[in-house]
Amino acid sequence: MSKLHLVGIGPGSKEYLTFKALKTVESSDILIGSRRALELFQDVCADKIELCVQNMDEMLKLAVSKACQGESVSLLSTGDPGFSGVLKPILKLAGDLDIEVVPGVSSIQICAAKLNIPWDVANVITMHGKGISEDIINVLANGKPTIILPNSTIEELVNFLIQNGVDPGREVSVCEKISYPDERILKTTLKDVLTEKFGYMCVLVVF
């Protein structure tokens, strides 16, 4: 029976690839993923197809189609496929296709580890691709550390929080480019985040 593999590749560094992810990818005929995901598997002899924001829907449909045709397809998902990954949209497309989810290490987990946060007692929220919900204001009031994967930029999220009454002096941490050589972890206040420049690969923790 045809099978589509949704492979979690971790936050970006080869150090966080699981053995299961490597073995699954190595046995695949086709790899579909972002450029930085595909770069982790340059030595793998498989057809590689680049996925980006602009062609996301097309590539997900292609992954399902190729798997239905009997090809062994690995769809690469940054972090874990089940957390702001490809699992949710694929379930809407796959029909009766057999799907194997290969879990990966999320940047949320690594961020919690770097900051010594037991993440089973934290609020864990993803806004990635969803926009900012006003519900976050109520969540921040429950006294737990809140680990947030932003919708787009850290600046957008911080401005929203301050404009909606969150104390600008509240303690926060920003984890940027987790697992990469230029990884940065900044412990500061909410308002002082706006004095820094960050890329899009960030996690915000509000204490």
pLDDT in tens, 17-26: 999 999 999 9
Average confidence (pLDDT) over 167-182: 95
CB-based contact 90:66 (threshold 8 Å):
no
- CA distances (Å), 4 to each of 47, 63, 104, in order? 15, 7, 16
Given a cut of 80, is residue 166 above it in pLDDT? Answer: yes
| b/e sequence 6-40, b meaning 16+ C-beta within 10 Å | bbbbbbbbeebbbeebbebbeebebbbbbeebbeb
pLDDT number for residue 1: 53
pLDDT number for residue 54: 87
CB-based contact 75:4 (threshold 8 Å):
yes
Average confidence (pLDDT) over 78-104: 94
**Sign, Cα dihedral of 82, 85, 89, 95:** negative
CB-based contact 7:77 (threshold 8 Å):
yes
What letter represents residue 140's amino acid? L
Average confidence (pLDDT) over 108-114: 95
pLDDT number for residue 200: 87
What residues contact residue 34 under an 8 Å CB cut-off, 6+ apart?
50, 51, 52, 76, 78
pLDDT number for residue 134: 86
Selection from 146, 161, 154, 78 nearest residue 112 by Cα:
146
Record the tokens describing residue 195, joined without a space: 């004095």
pTM to 2 decimals?
A: 0.89
Record the tokens describing residue 50, joined without a space: 């680049």
- What domains are there in the chain, each with its CATH number? 3-102 (3.40.1010.10), 107-206 (3.30.950.10)
Selection from 160, 156, 167, 165 nearest residue 207 by Cα:
167
Record the tokens describing residue 61, joined without a space: 């449909």
In which band, very low, low, confident or very high, does the pLDDT at 133 lie, cut at 50, 70 and 90?
A: confident
Average confidence (pLDDT) over 198-203: 92
Given a cut of 60, is residue 50 above it in pLDDT? Answer: yes
